[in-house]
Structure 1
Amino acid sequence: MRKIIHVDMDAFYASVEQRDFPQYRGKPLVVGGRPEQRGAVAAASYEARQYGIHSAMPARIAQQRCPDLIFARPRFEVYKAVSQQIRSIFHHYTDLVEPLSLDEAYLDVTTNALGEPSAVVLARAIKADIHSTTQLTASAGVSVNKFLAKMASGQNKPDGLTLILPEQAEAFVAALPIEKFHGIGYVTARKMRALGIATGADLRQRAEADLVQHFGKVGHFYYRVAQGQDDRPVNPNRIRKSLGAERSFSPNLTDLADMTAALGSVAAEVISRLQEQRCRGHTLTLKVKYANYRQITRSRTFVAAIGAESPILLWAEEMLLAHLDAQRLTPEDYRNQPVRLLGLTLSNLEPTGEPDHVQLSLEV
């Protein structure tokens, strides 16, 4: 039986800023662009979250909710350096480390460098090492597979440690609201609720074929995790075919300025992941999903690979504006066709090499 730990840093970007700048501590703070720059929230401190502020929210709305909100510019090089410190700590315990982003990772500690049989003891030690090294807190989930460990790490944030034993898995999953399932976003959750699936217990009652019919291939995954099953190994050498980020919005976006601001937050996350994965790609794809579930994608392919140093947001905005212009939409049309989700994906990836100075577009 595997012993898996999922470690998730607490409000990572915002916590780094509060660590480095004492004047920010204990105050509502967001990392991201300011309202006058039509910016968006990339990360929010726990003090800011008390006002209902969250990532991808337009900065002007965040400031309306908290007039005393502090805005800090992202410092991705600093976040990357701290992430490398944390990654080094993980490797003191096991070589089976699968990073998901700068601030979270899976660890398989079934066999570990300390010969420690208790994954909880190891998780507690990892959290302590992270705090002593970085002065930051992390939350950890411990269980027998990746899905349960991921769900456990979010149960008692910040600075939490949650164990889900095999005999507890069925009851834990059954009680989860469908919106809390890892891998189920806002739109999918709405579709599930329309089908009468509100909790893990409801999901478990559905036949696998039924879930595949409604949700495609991912229905197989939904069926298995509803039973608390997940046989995916922790893969330290996972080769990505694409890398991206997306955000769902509630309420829907009906203003062009809010759309471009939210796109900035998505682009910032893609850039952060490119830096963390040390890769570049040739094809940038924009995804727009409307409140009526209609979805469009627009892609742009480059001869030379583009990376974190490239103007990804500029190209994403151009694709968005080109899509809207092609439909001849007016401001009133935006209100009639609200946007539920925006996403960016970079594909045809390759490891980062020397920067290319010419970036030619093949197609739009």
Structure 2
Amino acid sequence: MIEEKIYRKIIHIDMDAFFASVEQRDFPEYRGKPLAVGGSPEGRGVVAAASYEARVFGVRSAMPSHKAISLCPHILFVRPRFDVYKKVSGSIREIFKRYTDLIEPLSLDEAYLDVSYDKLGIGSALDIAKQIREAIKAELNLTASAGISINKFVAKVASDINKPDGITFIGPSKIEAFMETLPVGKFYGVGKVTAKKMGQMNLHTGADLKRLTEPELVKHFGKQGHFFYRIVRGIDDRPVQPNRETKSISVEDTFEHDLTRLKDMDFELEKIAERLAGRLQKHQLKGRTITLKIRFNDFSIINRSKSLLQNTNDLSIILQTVKELLSKELSAEDKRVRLLGITLSNFNEITIINKNPQQLRLF
């Protein structure tokens, strides 16, 4: 007797331009116009979210305001209302709970759901995703996109395919073919430097990565090579983790040429800090411990931290702190720096609940 393989049912729900969509919903004068939540018309700060009308011009979240203005001079800036976004996010979560308690929020506007055992006995993850999207639209007057598959990675990628207000299902028999066509830039862990290296190796899609053995991938990309080998074959065993704790948020950048001057390092830290502040605003997080990461051209790494008296996500405070840490560490300017990174941690503590449900037939 041939045993039938059993799969998880994973849905990734991603709200469409969430902060901006809430503002356009609540204020008719913003509808149909390029809108930035966060930042300022004076060019200070970073964009926390951009409407789809602004995205047409290339405006994106975590982008400095001055760059957003240069791309879209007539863009409108509004102050974030995080208390409102948090309340709406709670209403979305209540809709999720009608179907499952296995919910892993990634931020206010996206989450994984494991509906292997759905409360209403619907059985089909695709039907559940459709009902959730319909409820969000009917009850909250907002749109969401959904990706459905047997694991978290594929579901997350799928939710981005038909945005906005779209739904994509990638079943077990389609996963490997889908991964083979996926650009390498869509793989988790592939940043600008890794993507450039892959391009130089003529690795442009999952199919190109698939031609390499696991030892070859590890040789070229370190421990990430193990992940690439598995995920290009559709293997991702990570469970949905309800109430997952966010312990830290980090942004780092590897430079094409080593940095030797402090003023160049300060300039790069400003860009990194702006991206970090944007992510912190999106996740509505403030931390007390700021950590500077430095990797030198000999691949040695140091981390220097400072804990503040109060939690913060303020760009100016983060930047001032890391610049002080950098100047103390490299006052002699005798080192060649390959990478810089900033981490904010020590958030409010949240209880972590780990569950790994038995897998069920997907459809």
Evaluate the alpha carbon distance shift between residue 286 and residue 38 of structure 1 in structure 2; reply closer, same or farther with a 3 A threshold: farther
Evaluate the alpha carbon distance shift between residue 329 and residue 82 of structure 1 in structure 2; reply closer, same or farther with a 3 A threshold: farther
Q: Does 1:93 align with 2:93?
A: no
| Aligned position for 2:200 | 194
- CA–CA distance in structure 2, aligned partners of residues 63 and 249 of structure 1: 27
Seq. identity, %: 49
Offset from partner CA, 1:170-214 (integer Å, 9 cap, x none): 111101110112342223222322333211111112222222333
| Aligned position for 2:323 | 321
Specify the SS of the correspondent of 1:36: coil
| Aligned position for 1:266 | 276
| Aligned position for 2:12 | 6
Specify the SS of the correspondent of 1:190: helix
Match of 1:185 among 178, 191, 207: 191
| Aligned position for 1:246 | 251
- CA–CA distance in structure 2, aligned partners of residues 195 and 285 of structure 1: 34
Evaluate the alpha carbon distance shift between residue 248 and residue 325 of structure 1 in structure 2; reply closer, same or farther with a 3 A threshold: closer
Deviation at 1:162, TM superposition (A): 0.2
Q: Does 1:345 align with 2:344?
A: yes
Match of 2:71 among 65, 70, 78: 65
Segment of structure 1 superposing worse, 161-170 or 258-267: 258-267
Evaluate the alpha carbon distance shift between residue 219 and residue 258 of structure 1 in structure 2; reply closer, same or farther with a 3 A threshold: closer
What amino acid is aligned across from residue 140 of structure 1 in structure 2? A
What amino acid is aligned across from residue 273 of structure 2 in structure 1? L
Evaluate the alpha carbon distance shift between residue 341 and residue 166 of structure 1 in structure 2; reply closer, same or farther with a 3 A threshold: farther
How is 1:1-364 mapped onto 2 (pairs within 5 angstroms)? 1-36=7-42, 38-240=44-246, 242-246=247-251, 260=270, 263-270=273-280, 272-273=282-283, 275=285, 283-287=289-293, 297-301=303-307, 306-307=310-311, 310=312, 312-323=314-325, 325=327, 327=330, 343-347=342-346, 350-351=349-350
Evaluate the alpha carbon distance shift between residue 79 and residue 237 of structure 1 in structure 2; reply closer, same or farther with a 3 A threshold: closer
Specify the SS of the correspondent of 1:162: strand
| Aligned position for 1:355 | none
What amino acid is aligned across from residue 77 of structure 1 in structure 2? D
| Aligned position for 2:260 | none
Specify the SS of the correspondent of 1:149: helix
Coordinate RMSD, CA, aligned? 3.5
Evaluate the alpha carbon distance shift between residue 42 and residue 329 of structure 1 in structure 2; reply closer, same or farther with a 3 A threshold: farther
- CA–CA distance in structure 2, aligned partners of residues 272 and 84 of structure 1: 15
Specify the SS of the correspondent of 1:114: coil
Segment of structure 1 superposing worse, 193-202 or 41-50: 193-202
| Aligned position for 1:356 | none
What amino acid is aligned across from residue 280 of structure 2 in structure 1? V
Evaluate the alpha carbon distance shift between residue 274 and residue 50 of structure 1 in structure 2; reply closer, same or farther with a 3 A threshold: closer
- CA–CA distance in structure 2, aligned partners of residues 118 and 171 of structure 1: 22
Offset from partner CA, 1:52-78 (integer Å, 9 cap, x none): 111222211211111111111122222
Specify the SS of the correspondent of 1:301: strand
What amino acid is aligned across from residue 218 of structure 1 in structure 2? Q
Offset from partner CA, 1:127-167 (integer Å, 9 cap, x none): 11111222111100011111111110000100010010111
Whether contact under 8 Å (1:150, 1:182) holds in the other structure is: no
- CA–CA distance in structure 2, aligned partners of residues 6 and 71 of structure 1: 29
Structure 2's unaligned 5+ residue stretches are 1-6, 258-262, 352-363
Specify the SS of the correspondent of 2:147: strand
Whether contact under 8 Å (2:193, 2:256) holds in the other structure is: no
Deviation at 1:84, TM superposition (A): 1.0
Evaluate the alpha carbon distance shift between residue 270 and residue 198 of structure 1 in structure 2; reply closer, same or farther with a 3 A threshold: same
Query: Normalized against structure 2, the TM-score is what?
Result: 0.80
Aligned length: 337
Evaluate the alpha carbon distance shift between residue 259 and residue 239 of structure 1 in structure 2; reply closer, same or farther with a 3 A threshold: closer
Evaluate the alpha carbon distance shift between residue 71 and residue 294 of structure 1 in structure 2; reply closer, same or farther with a 3 A threshold: farther
